[in-house]
Amino acid sequence: MTNQWSRRHFLKTGLSTGLGMAAGGALLSGCSSSLSQRSSGSMMDWNPQAKDLIKVGFVGIGNQGSGHVNNLLKVPGCQITAVCDIRPQRVEWAKAQVVKAGFPEPKGYTQGDLDYERMCEQEDLDLVYNAAPWRWHAPICLAAMNHGIHAASEVNIALSVEDCWKLVKTSEKTQKHCVMQENCCYDSTEMVVMNMINQGLFGEVMHGECGYLHDLRGLKVHPTVYQGMWRLHQSIKRNGNLYPTHGIGPMAWCMDINRGDAFDTLVSMSTKSIGLNEFAEQKLSEAKTDKDKAFYSQWVDQVYALGDVNITLIKTKKGKTIICKHDTNLPRPYSRDFLVQGSKGLIRKYPSEKIHIEGLSQGHNWEDMAKYNKEYEHPVWKAMKERAQGAGHGGMDYIEDYRLITALRTGRCPDIDVYDSVAWSAIIPLSEQSINKGNAPVKFPDFTRGKWQEPRALGITQWV
């Protein structure tokens, strides 16, 4: 069963205390920082040594990276002291932003794909934060930890099971945290739902639906949006659920994954691929210049491995089920298909927020979530929403960055640890394996080595 006692206990004690101290100072975490009180090497509930200032080296200053740079400049106790990108103009932009914010100019690293290694060797850093293209996420994190530096990465953190294990073992060996920054865990609606689950409103959570459903055709088939068109090339090479974490991250939190339950088995299947070809053909027919015609013509007959829609089914050790979708090559409104169903009711986020709770909702009808949002607003969101105004994706990008830096500054466990990061990202290679085996079931590796069975609270239920 869901660890409801632990959820409610930490919500009532940790968060109520945390709200009272949010503006005034640090709240001690429930995690233990003593090596003698934890399993040797495990990074679960491992607190780093508190530091007044977190010095950051930032790698990959593209679309999302630029937003994180601006966020970090506003987080108390954080200073960007080095920036790295293969494009000198992006490094110069980042330097200017840091100086404009009143900090000393950071050192720039622009000498090719591997210059992040030189940055890790030469700079006195507490954290390397990277928003480079996917294939660089794991190598950059490994380089940081091997130089005694905490690592944080944009999603996804790894593309292979082998790299997932490397991240776990390196984090445990070096005793440095390796964190995947999943912003959707901090979206307001998802946090309301987590609060409602903590309060027992849905009973025992049984089923979830989630995913990433976003028309990216105009971004993938574009010469400059993704540096080197890296995202299109992933669609050419890979067929699976290539971007699961926006949906699966919040869902894993709702289902106590790695905190009393764990992913067990996965089955994945994809449709055929026609969306990107048809899009390129349409753009070619609309092209006015020879340059545009030459660009789009090369993608009309390209063979894409990625099916237009992927559906991945997951069963947990405790018998819960999850549907996780990936849909980025067809015309559609944006959605993360977020739905949580328990023994006493359910909630869905898209296309509009609706809820049904047994005994509260009339008959078998949906209710609007609006009447519940204020009552069940998550304490973390309530405490942070004013500070997060104007940040990316409705403010959740700032909240995730603030939470990470504050955890490292005050000696707390980050909300998302290395085991969460790799479990969520492993869906990518495991879904590929399932498809390649004719949609056969595939077992999840146990990156925690059995410690998922020990109930433990999320950071967001311990401190604000």
Number of domains in the chain: 1
Of 410, 408, 407, 389, whose CA–CA distance to 398 is shortest?
389
Examine residue 395 and state whether it is found in any structural domain, yes or no. Answer: no
Is residue 406 within 8 Å of residue 464, measured between CB atoms? no
Give the CATH number, domain containing residue 247: 3.30.360.10
Examine residue 274 and state whether it is found in any structural domain, yes or no. Answer: yes
Examine residue 438 and state whether it is found in any structural domain, yes or no. Answer: yes
3 state SS of 59: strand
Q: Tell me what pLDDT residue 5 has.
A: 37
Examine residue 423 and state whether it is found in any structural domain, yes or no. Answer: yes
Find residue 346's DSSP bridge partners. 341, 356
Per-residue pLDDT of the chain (464 residues; tens, 9 = 90+): 444 434 444 444 445 434 433 433 333 333 433 333 344 589 998 999 999 999 999 999 998 999 999 999 999 999 999 999 999 999 999 999 999 999 999 999 999 999 999 999 999 999 999 999 999 999 999 999 999 999 999 999 999 999 999 999 999 999 999 999 999 999 999 999 999 999 999 999 999 999 999 999 999 999 999 999 999 999 999 999 999 999 999 999 999 999 999 999 999 999 999 999 999 999 999 999 999 999 999 999 999 999 999 999 999 999 999 999 999 999 999 999 999 999 999 999 999 999 999 999 999 999 999 999 999 999 999 999 999 988 889 899 999 999 999 999 999 999 999 999 999 999 999 999 999 999 999 999 999 999 999 999 999 988 99
Read out DSSP for 377-405? --HHHHHHTTTTTTSGGGGHHHHHHHHHH
Q: Tell me what pLDDT residue 41 has.
A: 87
Examine residue 353 and state whether it is found in any structural domain, yes or no. Answer: yes
Distance CA 26, CA 19 (A): 11
By residue range, what is the domain housing residue 426?
185-380+418-461
Examine residue 48 and state whether it is found in any structural domain, yes or no. Answer: no
Examine residue 197 and state whether it is found in any structural domain, yes or no. Answer: yes
Alpha-carbon distances of 284 from 218, 235, 256, 279, 281, rounded to whole Å: 13, 20, 48, 9, 5
Examine residue 157 and state whether it is found in any structural domain, yes or no. Answer: no
Phi-psi region of 315 (alpha: psi -120 to 50; beta: other; left: phi over 0): beta
